[in-house]
Amino acid sequence: MSGILLLGGTGQVGFELQRQLCLSGEVHAPSRQELDLTDAAAVDTWLHRFQPGLIVNAAAYTAVDKAESEPHLAHRLNAELPAQLAAYTQSRNQWLVHYSSDYVYSGDAKHGDETRPWQETSPAGPLSVYGKTKLEGDQAIQDSGCQHLIFRTSWVYSARGHNFMNTMLRLGREREALGMVSDQIGAPTPARLIALVTLQALTHQIEGGIYHLAPRGETSWHGFACEIFRQAHVLGEPLTITPGQVSAISSVQYPTPATRPLNSRLALEKLERALGVRLPSWQEQLALILTERLSTQ
Ligand SMILES: NC(=O)c1ccc[n+]([C@@H]2O[C@H](COP(=O)([O-])OP(=O)(O)OC[C@H]3O[C@@H](n4cnc5c(N)ncnc54)[C@H](OP(=O)(O)O)[C@@H]3O)[C@@H](O)[C@H]2O)c1
């Protein structure tokens, strides 16, 4: 076989990738039942039996808080698996597409200006097990010398599955008040945008390396929640809450096992230049995904 091996095809990004990558070639997306990615020997067997021409790795250990108590599992999925895939693609001179996270950055003021977006060349400084293991995965791919595209993205959501937007829609039907964190700043990114950009990048054969991938603009979790409720009201969704009933709280008031960066802003110019596009705003993207979500329930 020389098709595309897609790992994590049941996840938010993987589900959307299945729909886009079929335009590039035959996609093989083994489920967890067919290929348990914690089993390194099984991954090797699968690679050698199917000999994919391109590997797209959307699989990851993404439970950011749980990773603090399951570091070995997070390390296997986020660090060792990418290293294994990179060694395979390097030995065959093939491409590896991989996804990484804003959580590889420290998000604090160490680089001089806490409101400045991170560049792809900015020093990393992960604050959590998840962030550390994602960074190890990125570094293993770079160190392997394989041809690669690593897309670092942020705050992923989609019309289906468990994510912030869907949680807000549920809470918005149950609650009349909510407190949301307002001091973590980033850009909510639809899984579909990630899949579309991946296809564009492969089609245009952009230069290998690390690229930030998110919509334009910035907000906080509080701002994202308010915009979800505002747009849902406009679309006629019967909610018990309005944006005015969402109060802003600080990260300190909402302690979690894993520390999140306050600054998750990602500079997008490198990707925009490579593709010759201007990325859409996060609000425009939310309108698309929210409309789809509310029309299919
Ligand atoms: N979610 C975010 O907010 C976010 C933010 C920044 C970057 N990213 C990165 O973006 C990429 C895609 O994230 P996502 O949100 O699409 O992730 P997701 O929805 O959590 O999906 C993870 C995928 O990995 C698979 N997987 C996990 N452990 C496995 C195992 N042992 N064997 C086989 N499959 C396994 C899952 O399979 P099952 O369906 O069987 O569990 C699922 O298909 C990841 O690299 C992530 O680090 C995500």
Residue 90's Cβ-count burial label (10 Å; 0-12, 13-18, 19+) is: middle
Residue 108: its pLDDT value, please?
A: 65
pLDDT band (50, 70, 90) for residue 106: confident
**Looking at residue 118, what is its pLDDT?**
94
Q: Give residue-wise pLDDT tens across range 258-281.
A: 999 999 999 999 999 999 999 999
CA distance 228 to 222: 10
pLDDT of residue 35: 97
Mean pLDDT across the stretch 25-45?
A: 95
pLDDT tens digits, residue range 48-92? 998 999 999 999 999 999 999 999 999 999 999 999 999 999 999
What pLDDT score does 296 carry?
Answer: 80
Q: How confident is the model at residue 1 (pLDDT cuts 50, 70, 90)?
A: very low
Residues with CB under 6 A from ligand 1: 8, 10-14, 32, 36-38, 58-60, 62, 77, 99, 101, 134, 153-156, 191
Distance 74 CA to ligand 1 centre (A): 11
Parallel, antiparallel, or unpaired: how do β-strands 189-190 and 185-186 relate?
unpaired
Strand partners of residue 212: 152
pLDDT tens for 177-232 read 999 999 999 999 999 999 999 999 999 999 999 999 999 999 999 999 999 999 99
Q: How far, in Å, is the centroid of ligand 1 from the Cα of 154?
A: 13
Find where tokens 């500079």 sit. Answer: 267
pTM: 0.95
